[in-house]
């Protein structure tokens, strides 16, 4: 039993927030002036290869794989250093969360990963079915992911992997919800190749980095704890989606952790996958 009693008025203590105490705060706005870099392509992405960031880089790589003119510059935002609070980033995303995208052709700013996926799918008429029923089903699951993932990330993931100490009640509470959501997906995928039916869509791109990542152990290293091998339909779908060539490339972009050969901090052309990963840069002395 905890002996903690909430005070009548909560006060922020920047030193009492666990691993992310110095990158989270109860106010918005920039903390420092910093212009964002800009490359030569129409699309300027500022992100990090968390599940939310991977959704968008996978989308870009899938568009390119399908033959669309969707070249992009991807710039690393190091949230551990507070890059998301720089004035240039806040201008694109006032919520100071990755990913953030600027369309230099129209001057349009885009934030929230679901909004970015939907915008790009509409712009290129790709990965969003034209059939009204399939389109509605795709959007159902896209917005399901947007509403459900905070329980998986900020709820289960935070208390299981990042909280200063293990706490039974929140871990039990959010584990129950994580398993319920995995069961929702497993039932949806029974008899379906992809989330919305027989077509690969932005719904799959949105859901795989979170739920596929958890199911395969790539996110939070919690597959055994959650017994995810029991969700056979999710496992089959996750392996299929996450081994697509464009997905494998997309998950490398703006990645600053893990195997150096899978870290491409910045991406400005397809050739960067062969020459600019961290292992190659280290080997060249750069």
Q: What is the CA radius of gyration of the chain?
A: 19
- Ordered domains of the chain (ranges, CATH): 132-249 (1.20.1050.10)
- More confident site: 283 or 119: 119
pLDDT score, position 17: 64
13-68 per-position pLDDT tens digit? 877 666 676 678 899 999 999 999 999 999 999 999 999 999 999 999 999 999 99
Give start and end residues of each alpha helix (H) in 70-167. 87-92, 113-124, 132-150
Residue from 136, 170, 130, 131 nearest 154 by CA: 170
- Mention every residue, 6+ apart, whose C-beta is less than 8 A from residue 196: 129, 134, 137, 138, 140, 141, 203, 204
Cβ 254 vs Cβ 264: under 8 Å = yes
CA angle 124, 208, 269 (to 5 degrees): 50
Q: Above 80 in pLDDT, residue 279? A: yes
Q: How far is CA 92 from CA 40, 52, 104, 243, in A?
A: 18, 16, 12, 32
How far apart CA 148 and CA 167 sit, in angstroms, is: 22
pLDDT score, position 3: 81
How far apart CA 141 and CA 19 sit, in angstroms, is: 31
Q: What is the mean pLDDT of residues 106-129?
A: 98
pLDDT score, position 25: 86
How far apart CA 40 and CA 48 sit, in angstroms, is: 20
Interhelix angle 168-189/132-150, rounded to 10 degrees, is 170
């Amino acid at each position: 039993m905890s002996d903690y009693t909430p005070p009548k008025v909560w006060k922020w203590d920047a030193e009492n927030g666990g691993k992310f105490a110095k990158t989270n705060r109860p106010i918005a706005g920039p903390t420092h002036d910093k212009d964002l870099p800009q490359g030569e392509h129409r699309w300027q992405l500022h992100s990090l290869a968390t599940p939310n960031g991977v959704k968008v880089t996978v989308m870009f790589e899938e568009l390119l794989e399908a033959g669309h003119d969707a070249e992009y510059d991807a710039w690393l935002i190091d949230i551990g250093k507070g890059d998301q609070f720089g004035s240039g980033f806040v201008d694109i995303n006032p919520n100071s969360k990755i990913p953030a995208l600027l369309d230099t052709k129209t001057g349009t700013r885009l934030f929230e990963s679901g909004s970015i996926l939907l915008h790009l799918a509409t712009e290129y008429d790709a990965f969003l079915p034209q059939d009204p029923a399939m389109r509605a089903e795709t959007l159902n699951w896209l917005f399901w992911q947007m509403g459900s993932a905070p329980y998986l990330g900020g709820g289960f993931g935070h208390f299981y992997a990042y909280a200063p100490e293990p706490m039974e009640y929140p871990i039990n509470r959010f584990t129950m919800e994580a398993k319920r959501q995995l069961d929702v997906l497993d039932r949806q995928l029974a008899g379906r190749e992809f989330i919305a039916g027989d077509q690969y869509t932005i719904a799959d791109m949105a859901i795989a980095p979170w739920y596929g990542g958890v199911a395969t152990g790539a996110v939070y290293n919690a597959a055994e704890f959650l017994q995810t091998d029991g969700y056979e339909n999710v496992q089959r779908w996750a392996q299929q989606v996450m081994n697509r060539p464009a997905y494998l490339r997309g998950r490398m972009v703006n990645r600053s952790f893990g195997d150096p050969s899978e870290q491409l901090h910045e991406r400005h052309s397809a050739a960067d996958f062969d020459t600019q990963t961290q292992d190659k840069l280290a080997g060249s002395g750069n």
